[in-house]
Amino acid sequence: AQSVTQLGSHVSVSEGALVLLRCNYSSSVPPYLFWYVQYPNQGLQLLLKYTTGATLVKGINGFEAEFKKSETSFHLTKPSAHMSDAAEYFCAVSNTGGFKTIFGAGTRLFVKA
């Protein structure tokens, strides 16, 4: 069975500060890992994904995440937060070719001016 744990339901940063959103996963098979973002009243859209190969993956809007197998983690970072980054962020896991993608509980990011 697969599961995702996101540490911190709310994260608040100042504009220009580092963003770090934490995600740990559990999977009995090599996972595919994803970060999705949800803006108010919208659906989820993909920020970035890890499947195989390079463990540091870059996504849209300056976000990146690093797959660390030894720590079963896939934390999301951005060097400098922007007001427009305020949204809900979901970490997700699926197995290779799997029919089901499991989402974490989400982390709401607040960006202060």
Partner 1 sequence: EPEVTQTPSHQVTQMGQEVILRCVPISNHLYFYWYRQILGQKVEFLVSFYNNEISEKSEIFDDQFSVERPDGSNFTLKIRSTKLEDSAMYFCASRGTSLDTGELFFGEGSRLTVL
Taking alpha carbons only, the member of 9, 5, 4, 58 closest to residue 31 is 4
Over the window 10 to 49, marking each residue x when it contacts partner 1 by CB under 8 A and - when it does not, the resulting string is: ----------------------x-x-x----xxxxxx--x
Nearer to partner 1, 4 or 13 (CB): 4
Assign 15 to helix, strand or coil: coil
Q: Which contiguous run of DSSP H or E holds residue 56?
A: strand 56-58
**Residue 3 contacts residue 102 (beta carbons within 8 Å):** yes
Nearer to partner 1, 52 or 70 (CB): 52
Q: Identify which range of 21-29, 66-74, 75-83, 103-111 contacts partner 1 by CB under 8 A.
A: 103-111
Q: Minimum Å distance from CB 28 to partner 1?
A: 16
Taking alpha carbons only, the member of 1, 17, 3, 2 closest to residue 109 is 17
CA distance 59 to 64: 6
55 belongs to the binding site for partner 1 (CB under 8 A): no
105 belongs to the binding site for partner 1 (CB under 8 A): yes
Binding site for partner 1 (CB under 8 A): 32, 34, 36, 41-46, 49, 51, 90, 94, 96-106
